[in-house]
Amino acid sequence: MSDFPRLDGQYALVTGASRGIGRAIAESLAGAGGNVAITSRNLQDCQAVAEEIERSHGAAAMGFQADVSRVESIHELFKQLANWSSGRLDILVCNAGFPMQPEIWNTPLHATPPDKLQRWYLDVFATDAMGAVFCTFEALPLMTARRCGRIIYISSTPALEGYQGTAYTMAKAAILGLMRDVAREYGKDNIRANALALGNIRTQATFEPLDKESRSALAAEAPLNRWGAPEEVGKAALFLASDLSSFVTGQVLVVDGGTVRR
């Protein structure tokens, strides 16, 4: 099919790509011919994923260690990335998220233990929101220099509708603000920024720990009556990363089986 998106020769960086959704996005971009940088806090995991991607897709892949919540770590990551890609970055996917902790996710603000209030909110914000800020800050010069770039932010449906785990909701809503500012400010440099707002996606972090009833109850939230697969997020990311979305910027694409309808 002539319209099938291709990313041959392009370089993409995906944060939190050692497993789950980030890995599926990296696979999807590599499947279209893109070269992918795989990052998380665990270098060995990233190297293993990069090797598997090279084997199965033929595109170049490299694992890098980085903690997105630490500004120096991201500065160092981009130095290594620029070395590997000869200073080129076409696609940035800000996917790394604070580990799913049920007690934070399920506790409304008023019930948060006072001694945990500051820690919980700042920790989630540092990874999800500031991590996206640090990566965008480093990516922009590489993209503006070549007048070409696409940035994809991974948000969540609570950012659109609210939920009880306010620490996560706030961080994911902040990402949407960042996305809109980047789209507005750097469109003139041919940089597009969009976000995916995800519903229940079946990963080790979200699906595995649940009992059968909870899994079914969450599936039933969506008109499609099931969990989404990470690969389905990968396809949506490929749309936003490729020329198929060449006139789309500043938008939130909801990938949730139809729970949020607007």
* Active-site residue list: 168
With contacts defined by CB under 6 A, name the span among 28-36, 109-117, 183-191, 197-205 that binds ligand NAP: 197-205
15 and 38 Cβ atoms separated by less than 8 Å: no
198 binds ligand NAP per the rule CB under 6 A: yes
Nearer of residues 90 and 123 to ligand NAP, judged by Cβ: 123
- By C-alpha distance, which of 200, 185, 173 is closest to 249? 185
Q: Which of residues 137 and 187 has its CB atom nearest to ligand NAP in the complex?
A: 137
In whole angstroms, give the CA distance from residue 155 to residue 258: 16
Q: Which of 99, 188, 261, 262 binds ligand NAP (CB under 6 A)?
A: 99
Token reading at 11: 């370089």
CA-based nearest residue to 90, from 98, 81, 99: 81
Q: What is the nearest approach in angstroms of ligand NAP to the Cβ of residue 107?
A: 17
Q: Applying CB under 6 A, does 95 fall inside the site for ligand NAP? A: yes
Quick one: which segment of 10-18, 80-88, 141-149, 179-187 binds ligand NAP (CB under 6 A)?
A: 10-18
Residues 43-62 that bind ligand NAP (CB under 6 A): 45
Cα–Cα dist 47/87, whole Å: 21
Per residue in 170-180, is it b (16+ CB within 10 Å) or e — as a string? bbbbbbbebbb
Residues that bind ligand NAP (CB under 6 A): 15-22, 40-42, 45, 66-69, 95-97, 99, 127-128, 154, 156, 198, 200-201, 203-206
